[in-house]
Structures are given as structure tokens and as C-alpha cells.
Amino acid sequence: MIKVGDTLPAATLMEFSEVEGNGCSLGPNPVDVAKATAGKTIALFALPGAFTPTCSAKHVPGYVEKFPELKAAGVDEIWCVSVNDAFVMGAWARDQNTGSKVRMLADGSADFAKATGLTLDLTARGMGLRSNRYSMLIKDGKVANLNVEAPGKFEVSDAATLLAQAKA
């Protein structure tokens, strides 16, 4: 499993763009993790799935709400990563009103989850291999803080915890 001090694994996530602009084409666009984190502080949180109860009711809304405080604490971008396709993540972004506050990034084949060692096998529940619920503060492509949830819990990957770490 990835740990504090490690460099993020080489991976490409996908992001759905609603409108064309800033050189982005419509539809899913690749996000090279190494390039996108270089020289930046990223508040990344990952979760088992879009539109799932805890994720939709607590996890994403918390980061949307704490956006101004995270920015003030030096966070350049907030990323939500889930093992879903980019179209689902785009629809969830609209549903959650994430706007330009939270980048909703798809890890469709769980490649990023596997590379970090943070997978969650929900095959018995009909959901296949997913991402564990966690948050991490990333500074210039390296893990500065990592908060991994115990199974079925939502106690340490919330926006308030990561905000406190960003302020430290």
C-alpha cells in the first residue's frame, strides 16, 4: 500500500468535460496524474462509488463545502477519484454541484486503485473491485498525508480531517 513520502504511481485518470474550453475537448479527457500533480498541492479523496449513500450524502458535499478553506490552506485542487467511468463521474458532478470546486476523476478499470494498493473487493455485493475510502494530501506528486478508512467507516477521510492536515 502507498504510504506517506511515496510518489504517486504513474496513472491516467479520465475527466468528463461539460463544455469546451481552455483547450479541453468535450467528453472524457485523460488526466496524467504525474503531470497534473507536479508543483501543486492536491487534496485527493477516493471512494467506492458514485451515487452511493455515504459518498453522495457526506463525502463529496463535505469537500464542496470546505473548498474555500482548503484553498486558503494552500490546496490548489480537490480531486474525487472513484472506480466509475468518466460519463458517470460527469453525471455525478452535475448531481452534486461540484462545479469548478472538485474535479471528479474516473478510475474506470481501477488501475490507480490497484497501483496505490487501496482496492476494496465488493464482488460479493455485485460491485466488483473498487477503491477503498481514503483521503490524501499530495504535494508535488508525493503523499504528504494519508487517511485510510476501516471497512464500512467514514471517520478519517472527510474534508475536515484533510483541512486540518493542510493547515498543519
**Catalytic position from the list 55, 60, 89, 120:** 55
**What pLDDT does residue 22 have?**
60
**What pLDDT does residue 123 have?**
81
**What pLDDT does residue 129 have?**
85
Q: How far apart are CA 121 and CA 137, in angstroms?
A: 24
Q: Which three cell numbers stand for residue 39?
A: 508543483
CB 16 within 8 A of CB 86: yes
What does DSSP assign to residue 100? T
- Residue 55 known to be catalytic: yes
CB 105 within 8 A of CB 81: yes
pTM attached to this predicted model: 0.93
**What pLDDT does residue 108 have?**
94
Q: Which residues pair with 136 in a beta bridge?
A: 44, 146
User: Mind listing the pLDDT tens digit of every residue in the chain (168 residues)?
Assistant: 999 999 999 999 999 977 655 655 567 899 999 999 999 999 999 999 999 888 888 899 999 999 999 999 999 999 999 999 999 999 999 999 999 999 999 999 999 999 999 998 888 887 778 899 999 999 999 999 999 999 889 999 999 999 999 999
